[in-house]
């Protein structure tokens, strides 16, 4: 059972809580919200993708990352890069609650793959330019939408909440495509960890920097908000002290168990790269 969901989704809710703003940017689609807000000693740029029931693309009205959303993400992240050139690169926090990429005929024709790639490119380029890029999972982090918004982050944090789900395909779609009942997928996820949807299983894969426990995804109180801000600030400080690539995802302690093959492949490739 998924928990009740406010119409605006967790992304906007958390965006408002953490920034105190609505984040609508003139000239940009209403589904991509951007605002700066303080985190400990510095100002961070928060970005969220939110639902819009009147989105001009009908397949992107429920919090999906569609064509306009992905290009707007690319634009907004690149604008941050440009604004900070020659200065200390500011932290970028992606608040993630994205149900999926938009599925549709127009989306394919108009190149949604390119739009999502442009968003991923912008986040990766920001990370490589020294911007600490942090993803905070507050709801769904699904498939291509997560690749476009969050998965290029230096550090991924998540609320330990049943509202937070991570997967390559939504449960409903996976059930239809594989012709399995949802319960069977559930059971499979309990046996095969990378098949699970819940964030506690995802945490076991070693891809998360922090699983934040004891915080309500729907209605965080003031103390809980402060704790989340503290975790974000810690992640930013840790990022500034480390490399700009994603190597911690397979070099940290956690992945040694369940991501052992990812590590073994890299070790053996390195050994064989040069002729003996």
Partner 1 sequence: MSIVLRDSFIEMPARERARAILDADTFRELLGPFERMKSPWLPLQGVVAQADDGVVVARGRLAGKPAVVAAIEGAYQGGSIGEVSGAKIAGVLELALRDCERGAPVRPVLLLETGGVRLQEANLGLAAIAEIHAAIVALRAHVPVVGVIAGLVGCFGGMSLTAALCSRLIVTRQARLGMNGPEVIEQEAGIAELDSTDAALVWSLMGGEQRYATGLADVLVEDDAGMIAAQVRAAFDSVAASRTEQVERFVKRLASIDPIQPPEPAQLRALWPREAPR
Q: Which residues inside 241-270 make contact with partner 1, applying CB under 8 A? A: 245-246, 249, 258-262, 264-266, 268-270
We find the least distance from the C-beta atom of residue 103 to partner 1, in angstroms, to be 4
- Which residue number, 19 or 152, has a Cβ lying nearer to partner 1? 152
205, 211, 212, 235: which one binds partner 1 (CB under 8 A): 205
Binding residues for partner 1 restricted to 138-157, rule: CB under 8 A: 143-144, 146-148, 151-152
Helix or strand or coil: residue 30? coil
Stretch that binds partner 1, among 13-21, 46-54, 67-75, 220-228 (CB under 8 A): 67-75
Distances (CA, A) of 75 to 107, 126, 127: 19, 12, 15
In DSSP notation, 164-220 reads -EEESS-HHHHHHHHT--HHHHHHHHHHSGGG--BHHHHHHTT--SEEE-S--SSS-
Contact pick of 41, 191, 253, 276 for partner 1 (by CB under 8 A):
191
What are the backbone dihedrals phi and psi of residue 274, each rounded to the nearest 5 degrees, phi first? Answer: -95, 150
Query: Of residues 166, 228, 232, 235, which one binds partner 1 by CB under 8 A?
Result: 166
Query: Cα(203)–Cα(147) distance, rounded to whole angstroms?
Result: 17
Q: Which residue among 139, 202, 212, 235 contacts partner 1 (CB under 8 A)?
A: 202
CA 7 to mean position of chain CA atoms: 20
Q: In the range 69-128, which residues lie near partner 1 by CB under 8 A?
A: 71, 74-75, 78, 101, 103-118, 120-122, 124-125, 127-128
Q: How far is the CB of 98 from partner 1 (least distance, A)?
A: 13
**Number of separate helices (H) and strands (E) present in the chain:** 12, 7
Quote the least distance from Cβ 202 to partner 1, whole Å: 6
Using CB under 8 A, pick the residue from 26, 41, 275, 276 that binds partner 1: 275
Residue 92 burial class via C-beta count within 10 angstroms: exposed 0-12, middle 13-18, buried 19 and up: buried
């Amino acid at each position: 059972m998924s928990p009740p969901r406010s119409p605006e989704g967790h992304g906007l809710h958390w965006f408002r809580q953490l920034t105190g703003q609505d984040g609508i940017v003139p000239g940009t689609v209403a589904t991509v919200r951007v605002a700066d807000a303080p985190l400990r000693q510095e100002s961070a740029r928060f970005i969220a993708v939110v639902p819009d029931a009147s989105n001009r693309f009908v397949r992107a009205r429920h919090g999906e990352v569609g064509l306009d959303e992905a290009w707007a993400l690319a634009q907004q992240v690149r604008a941050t890069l440009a604004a900070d050139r020659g200065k200390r690169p500011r932290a970028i926090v992606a608040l993630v609650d994205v149900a999926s990429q938009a599925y549709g005929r127009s989306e394919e024709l108009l190149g949604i793959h390119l739009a999502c790639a442009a968003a991923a490119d912008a986040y990766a380029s920001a990370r490589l330019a020294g911007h600490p890029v942090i993803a905070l999972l507050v709801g769904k982090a699904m498939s291509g939408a997560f690749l476009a918004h969050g998965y290029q982050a230096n550090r991924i944090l998540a609320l330990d909440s049943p509202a937070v789900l991570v997967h390559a395909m939504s449960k409903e779609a996976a059930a239809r495509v594989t012709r399995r009942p949802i319960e069977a997928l559930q059971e499979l996820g309990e046996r095969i960890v990378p098949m699970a949807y819940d964030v506690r299983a995802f945490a076991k894969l070693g891809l998360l920097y922090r699983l934040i426990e004891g915080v309500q995804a729907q209605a965080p109180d003031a103390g809980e908000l402060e704790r989340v801000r503290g975790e974000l600030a810690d992640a930013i400080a840790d990022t500034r002290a480390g490399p700009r690539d994603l190597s911690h995802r397979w070099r940290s302690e956690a992945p040694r168990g369940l991501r052992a093959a990812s590590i073994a492949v890299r070790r053996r490739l390195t050994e064989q790269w040069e002729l003996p």
